């Protein structure tokens, strides 16, 4: 069964139609890419999926259940976690405490310390666990945000430009992490401008332009799709 099924989602901001009949699915064990020029509607779609914005029409299903009318907290309890394009860490808390805050909301809250220690190890963050979040480089802060999302043990993980600000080496390690999360059975949806990363880790890529899905397919097909190239060149 699909972890996420979005169908016919339309969002209007005043007179501006930011999303227009969008459909998208994400399955366990797969990394699903969502790409498109700036302003295409990618972050707005994440807001709709996570329950922060109510669409004017369309449905959102998580693991087969219609959650369109549920708020963000209820959706989180159905296994959804996300990161934000704009970093949302608690700057005056340590890396460990940023993760603990999340783990204490998750299904394994009674073992929050153990969950956090395991994630810090997995992400290579153990050595900076006691640093304040506001002392981190953007690339490392992005990784901590992913760690915080993982601390609630999500089955569906939405990542909004997680590699922005990462250097080449950090991005390479991040790609391996995404593959291993998928191998564990997580459904990952990746919004990302780094095409090298998208093309190397995604099983399937959806392309959004001006609020509409204009192409869906495996990376090697999307890379050579003329409609997609035209959308980017017209940006
Ligand atoms: P992307 O993440 O693909 O760059 P966004 O989802 O942020 O795109 O934005 C899609 C469109 O919706 C843009 O035209 C943007 O200006 C507009 N938009 C986004 N959020 C709001 C908002 N809160 N109010 C009005 N317009 C918005
Ligand atoms: Mg965005």
For the chain, helix, strand, coil in percent to 5 are: 40, 25, 35
Place of tokens 């959102």: 60
Ligand 1 test: best mutation among 13, 43, 84, most atoms within 8 Å of CB? Answer: 13
Q: Are strands 57-62 and 65-66 parallel, antiparallel or unpaired?
A: antiparallel
Query: Where exactly are the structural domains of the chain?
Result: 4-79+154-233, 84-136
Q: Are strands 212-217 and 187-191 parallel, antiparallel or unpaired?
A: unpaired
Interval between CA 114 and ligand 2 midpoint (Å): 33
- What pLDDT does 88 receive? 86
Place of tokens 């969502």: 34
Return the C-alpha torsion angle 109, 110, 114, 117, nearest 10: 30
With 0-12 / 13-18 / 19 or more C-beta atoms within 10 angstroms meaning exposed / middle / buried, residue 14 is: exposed
- Which ipTM was obtained for this model? 0.98
Give Cα separations from 168 to 139, 144, 165, 196 (angstroms).
10, 17, 10, 10
Q: Is the CB of 115 under 6 A from ligand 1?
A: no
**Using one digit for the tens of pLDDT, what is the confidence trace for 42-81?**
999 999 999 999 999 999 999 999 999 999 999 999 999 9
- Label residue 87 by pLDDT band (50, 70, 90): confident
* CATH number, domain 4-79+154-233, options 1.10.10.60, 3.30.1340.30, 3.40.50.300, 3.40.50.720: 3.40.50.300
| pTM exceeding 0.90 | yes
Please check the confidence at residue 235 and state whether its pLDDT lies above 70.
no
- What pLDDT does 106 receive? 84
Interval between CA 161 and ligand 1 midpoint (Å): 15
Q: Is the CB of 43 under 6 A from ligand 1?
A: yes
Please check the confidence at residue 31 and state whether its pLDDT lies above 80.
yes
**Using one digit for the tens of pLDDT, what is the confidence trace for 183-220?**
999 999 999 999 999 999 999 999 999 999 999 999 99
- What pLDDT does 155 receive? 97
Question: 80 forms bridges with which residues in the sheet?
Answer: 156
Interval between CA 171 and ligand 2 midpoint (Å): 19
Interval between CA 86 and ligand 2 midpoint (Å): 9
Percentage of residues of the chain with pLDDT beyond 90: 91
């Amino acid at each position: 069964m699909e972890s996420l099924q979005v169908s016919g989602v339309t969002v209007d901001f005043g007179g501006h139609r930011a999303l227009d009949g969008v459909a998208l699915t994400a399955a366990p064990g797969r990394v699903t890419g969502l790409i498109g020029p700036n302003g295409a509607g990618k972050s707005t779609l994440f807001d709709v999926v996570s329950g922060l914005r109510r669409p004017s029409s369309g449905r959102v299903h998580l693991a087969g259940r219609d959650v369109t009318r549920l708020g963000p907290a209820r959706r989180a309890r159905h296994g959804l976690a996300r990161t934000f394009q704009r970093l949302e860490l608690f700057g005056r808390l340590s890396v460990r405490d940023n993760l603990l805050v999340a783990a204490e909301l998750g299904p394994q809250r009674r073992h929050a310390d153990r969950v956090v220690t395991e994630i810090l190890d997995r992400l290579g963050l153990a050595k900076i666990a006691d640093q304040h979040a506001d002392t981190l480089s953007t690339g490392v802060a992005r990784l901590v945000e992913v760690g915080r999302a993982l601390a609630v043990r999500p089955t569906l993980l939405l990542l909004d430009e997680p590699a922005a600000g990462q250097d080449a080496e950090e991005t390479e390690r991040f790609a391996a992490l995404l593959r291993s999360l998928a191998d564990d059975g997580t459904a990952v949806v990746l919004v990302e401008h780094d095409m090298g990363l998208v093309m190397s880790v995604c099983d399937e890529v959806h392309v959004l332009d001006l609020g509409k899905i204009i192409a869906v397919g495996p990376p090697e097909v999307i890379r050579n799709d003329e409609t997609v190239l035209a959308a980017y060149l017209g940006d």
